[in-house]
Structure 1
Amino acid sequence: MLCDEEQEPEIRQVCVNFVKRLIMQLRERLPDNFNILKKVNMFAVDNILRPHKNIFDFINIFEYFKITDIGKLKSQLDKIHLIKWEKTEESMQFWAEVLAYRDAENNNPFKALALFAIQLFSLPWSNAEVERVFSQMNILKSKLPNKMALKSLNVILSIRYGLRRHNECCHTYSLPQKYLAQIKNKDKYLNDGENDDIESLLTCLI
């Protein structure tokens, strides 16, 4: 149905008013921490590798999330651009490389910063994804396997969502050979305190 020329300005104004009210309502529904969430981009690979960074913005984020050892993260921020990184095209792949990095003494001098950045990028922007996680959790930890340990539940969920991020499934994903070789090693089952292998495997799925 076409409107005549006399009605067109009025209809246009009604549409403009509707969009204005919609924007105002959306702003009112934004969470209180929206300004902090907007600063997540500071941890993007292009920004984090700049020699000169606005350290005060980073400190504000650390303080907001109640980080106790801010000096440690600040020190890692100051040095991270000095390393020649390979995966600098995509931020999550970059931080996965940082998390797996080892220096000459087999230490990771950027582990705290990498873990914080990955957790920051993992923040959901809506509750839809969180509800999906709860649905998956209820499927895994039902009335039958109700004694499943929290650690096991966390690992299973991490693997599931890691595979989904890579558009893979358990039928198509090829497990690295070094993990297949450990299946027959009873020491890996007896040593409950060893978490390095689990963290390394989960890093592959980030």
Structure 2
Amino acid sequence: MESEPLQEKEELFRYDCKQFLIELCMQMKKRFPFEENSLIAMLKVVEPAEALSTKRDLKSLGKLAVHFPTLIKEDELDLLQEQWRDLLYARDTLKGISQSATVFWNDLLSVKDGNNKEKFNLLATFMCNLLALSHSSACIERIFSQINQVKTKQSNRLDTNTVANRLLAKQAITRQEVTYQKWEPSISLIKDAKLGHCHMRYKEREESRKKSNTATLYHSEVNDVDDEELEEDPMPVSFFLQ
């Protein structure tokens, strides 16, 4: 007699779970393009099995590459397509490479032709960059969390440049794998900070990055200070408290 109510609750729970999954799929279908020729569908070429298949759907890799202008230049599209085509011809010689996507495309960088030149350098680099793309906004949300720690209710008048400089300083210290209590800035670093050279170098790199279309695998951290500058002529933190 007591098991009947529990059975009814279990059935209700299973039904609610099923309805939740159905609604989840419907909402995802509304928000993401899952059509046959959509961007998401084309991204399956990063899988080695798909890329090496004679029945692969994406004949022209340029259709995918045009969606990522920061990863590849327009004048490199022809060479990219040429290497994409040659990959199919070389499929028998690549069977020994791991079929893990990250390992496959990384190892493909070292494959050379008869002239001892990298045969698939542009293609492999493009695929590695696709694999390195952030699949969520978690890295951005972490930055916002750091901003909230810097710009609090007590310091809500800080301007953007001050907040940015504090974040850069935090990243520089974190990169040394020490806490701010133990970190000792060098004399040259203090001089650069007073003259604004650190921020100037950061702005110059940002401008250079915007002008060029070359890709990089690491965008999440800004390295504003050279390691050598942090290590030479240490100055105690108490200097700043005087």
Say whether residues 1:44 and 2:47 are aligned partners: yes
Q: TM-score, with normalisation over the residues of structure 1?
A: 0.53
Q: What is the match of residue 99 of structure 2?
A: 89
Alignment counterpart, residue 130 of structure 2, candidates 111, 114, 120: 120
Q: What is the match of residue 211 of structure 2?
A: none
User: SS of the counterpart of 1:95?
Assistant: helix
Q: What is the match of residue 63 of structure 1?
A: 66
Say whether residues 1:74 and 2:81 are aligned partners: yes
**Identical-residue share of aligned pairs (%):** 21
Inter-partner Cα distance in structure 2 for 1:63 and 1:87? 28
Which one has more relative contact order, counting CA pairs under 8 Å at least 6 apart? 2
Relative to 1, partners in 2 of residues 1:120 and 1:133: Cα closer, same or farther, differing over 3 Å?
farther
- 1:123, distance to aligned residue in structure 2 (A): 1.5
Q: What is the match of residue 172 of structure 2?
A: 141
Unaligned runs of 5+ in 2: 147-166, 174-179, 207-216, 222-242
Equivalent residues of 1:40, 1:121 under 8 A apart = no
Relative to 1, partners in 2 of residues 1:107 and 1:21: Cα closer, same or farther, differing over 3 Å?
same
- 1:25, distance to aligned residue in structure 2 (A): 3.6
Q: Rg bigger for which structure?
A: 2
- What residue identity is the alignment partner of 2:45? M
Equivalent residues of 2:111, 2:118 under 8 A apart = yes
Inter-partner Cα distance in structure 1 for 2:169 and 2:25? 36
Count of residues in correspondence between the two structures: 153
Q: Deviations over 1:116-142 (max 9, x none)?
A: 111111122211255569979774336
Inter-partner Cα distance in structure 2 for 1:49 and 1:114? 13
- 1:93, distance to aligned residue in structure 2 (A): 1.3
Inter-partner Cα distance in structure 2 for 1:138 and 1:131? 19
Equivalent residues of 1:73, 1:112 under 8 A apart = yes
- 1:74, distance to aligned residue in structure 2 (A): 1.4
- 1:53, distance to aligned residue in structure 2 (A): 3.5
Inter-partner Cα distance in structure 2 for 1:20 and 1:89? 33
- What residue identity is the alignment partner of 1:73? L
Equivalent residues of 2:80, 2:123 under 8 A apart = yes
Q: What is the match of residue 54 of structure 1?
A: 57
Of residues 37-46 and 116-125 in structure 1, the stretch that sits farther from structure 2 once superposed is: 37-46
Q: Deviations over 1:123-182 (max 9, x none)?
A: 22211255569979774336967737659xxxxx95xx9xxxxxxxxxxxxxxxxxxxxx
Inter-partner Cα distance in structure 1 for 2:41 and 2:137? 17
Alignment counterpart, residue 110 of structure 1, candidates 115, 120, 136: 120
Equivalent residues of 1:76, 1:109 under 8 A apart = yes
Inter-partner Cα distance in structure 2 for 1:5 and 1:40? 44
- 1:15, distance to aligned residue in structure 2 (A): 4.6
- What residue identity is the alignment partner of 1:97? D
- What residue identity is the alignment partner of 1:49? L
